Amino acid sequence: MTCRHCNAPLDLDFLDLGHAPPSNAYLSAADLNAAETTYPLRIKVCRNCRLVQTEDYAAADELFSAEYAYFSSTSKGWLAHAQRYTAMITERLGLSDQSHVIEVAANDGYLLRNFVDAGIPCLGIEPTDSTAEAAGSLGIPILREFFGETLGHQLATEGKSADLICGNNVYAHVPDINDFTRGLAAALKPQGVITLEFPHLQQLIEHCQFDTVYHEHFSYLSFSAVSRIFKAAGLRVFDVEHLPTHGGSLRVYGCLENADFEQTIAVASCLQSEQDAGLLSDNIYQGFQTRANAVKTDCSVFCWMRRPRGNQWLDTVPQPRAIRF
């Protein structure tokens, strides 16, 4: 396999979590006696562009099926986050009933319902039938498709270019990240803005959040890698915010290369922070498996220690053993 972005060989290992079934592919009662399909869950790093990515096994249409079970609106905290974002971005960009907002991966309409309420025209792109139906029932126009360059051009041709394209927690889920990013550029008005939110790789590494690794996340994104991918698609990042969501996320602001937006100081600061954290060197990735294994070992030992025997808690600590996933 080669890098999803720059096509360089992927020879730097980051994490091997063994085999696992797709996370949101729940089994029905009828399936319980059948064999369950599992896929290797291994993460590699591109030494050239530093995009951290899963090895290819499961295809997107196997992961994001018609019965996709993740509905964003089930989280009250996430609904409140979407409401705050809508108010902030509407004011920052001066959005009105003359604007057009596109959300990629609109899920069940958890975000666009706020734009509908504010009278701002919008369109959701959502490939999974189960969630798209829920969004449609809220009166949100939905296109049931995967987003990419072809669809971006089609929207522009149909006069549906956007003043704002938002994508919350979709960028990491995209198998062909170059095609997706070119689609963003194609569907954007000349002075339009893109905002993307995604879990920040720097937080994953610093806090050893290996439990956030799953097949639906094709990429584990740093700001440096995203800036590079944007640039290759004729876009540039001009601002970035740190968010507490999903263990620590970034919200990246992008525009077309020649748009008028001035770059904020946050851009250089975030790039520097990633460099200082070692995200551009090999060492930090090479040591991650050991750190993840240690968490697993400590957890196993802790559970064993706290197991009551009669009325007594065990208080002897066995020597941790190396346990592979």
Site for Zn ion in 59-118 (CB under 5 A): none
Q: Supply φ then ψ for residue 22, to 5 degrees.
A: -55, 140
If one asks whether residue 3 binds Zn ion (CB under 5 A), the answer comes out as yes
Nearer to Zn ion, 228 or 296 (CB): 228
Long-range contacts of range 202-205, CB-CB < 8 Å, 24 or more positions apart? 202/248, 202/273, 202/274, 202/277, 202/279, 203/247, 203/248, 203/249, 204/247, 204/248, 205/277, 205/279, 205/284, 205/288
Provide, rounded to whole angstroms, the least separation between the CB of residue 221 and Zn ion.
12
Of 6-14, 83-91, 146-154, 176-184, the segment contacting Zn ion by CB under 5 A is 6-14
Q: Among residues 44, 1, 85, 73, which one has the least CA distance to residue 282?
A: 44
CB nearer Zn ion, residue 7 or residue 191: 7
CA distances from 220 to 2, 25, 165, 180, 198 (A): 16, 21, 21, 16, 9
Kindly state the smallest distance separating residue 188's Cβ from Zn ion, in Å. 24
Least gap, CB of 222 to Zn ion (angstroms): 12
Q: Is the CB of 48 or the CB of 150 nearer to Zn ion?
A: 48
Q: Which is nearer to Zn ion, 49 or 226 (CB)?
A: 49
By the rule CB under 5 A, 250 interacts with Zn ion = no
- 201 neighbors 273 (Cβ within 8 angstroms): no
The CB-of-268 to Zn ion minimum distance in angstroms stands at: 22
Closer of 48 and 273 to Zn ion (Cβ): 48
Classify 39 as helix, strand or coil: strand
**For the CA atoms of the chain, what is the radius of gyration?**
21
Contacts of 74 (CB under 8 A, 6+ apart): none
Q: Which of 24, 48, 178, 300 binds Zn ion (CB under 5 A)?
A: 48
Query: Binding of Zn ion at residue 20 (CB under 5 A)?
Result: no
| Interaction between residue 138 and Zn ion (CB under 5 A) | no
Tokens of 93: 């960009």
CA angle at residue 305 from 300 to 309, to 5 degrees?
Answer: 130
Q: Considering the complex, what minimum distance in angstroms separates the CB of residue 45 from Zn ion?
A: 9
> Distance between CA 324 and CA 192 in Å, rounded?
48
- Our finding on whether 6 is near Zn ion (CB under 5 A) is yes
Which of 15, 46, 111, 165 is close enough to bind Zn ion by CB under 5 A?
Answer: 46
**DSSP label of 15:** E
Which one, 3 or 270, has the nearer CB to Zn ion?
A: 3
Q: Residues near 76 by Cβ (< 8 Å), separated by ≥ 6?
A: none
Question: What is the DSSP track for 114-132?
Answer: HHHHTT--EEEE---HHHH
Residues touching Zn ion: how many (CB under 5 A)?
A: 8
Q: How near is the Cβ of 219 to Zn ion at its closest, in Å?
A: 11
Q: How far is the CB of 231 from Zn ion (least distance, A)?
A: 13
Query: Which part of the chain contacts Zn ion (CB under 5 A), choosing from 4-12, 123-131, 146-154, 178-186?
Result: 4-12
Q: Is 43 in the site for Zn ion (CB under 5 A)?
A: no
Shortest spacing between CB 5 and Zn ion, in angstroms: 5
Residue 49 touches Zn ion, criterion: CB under 5 A: yes
**Where along the sequence are the contacts to Zn ion (CB under 5 A)?**
3, 5-6, 8, 46, 48-49, 51
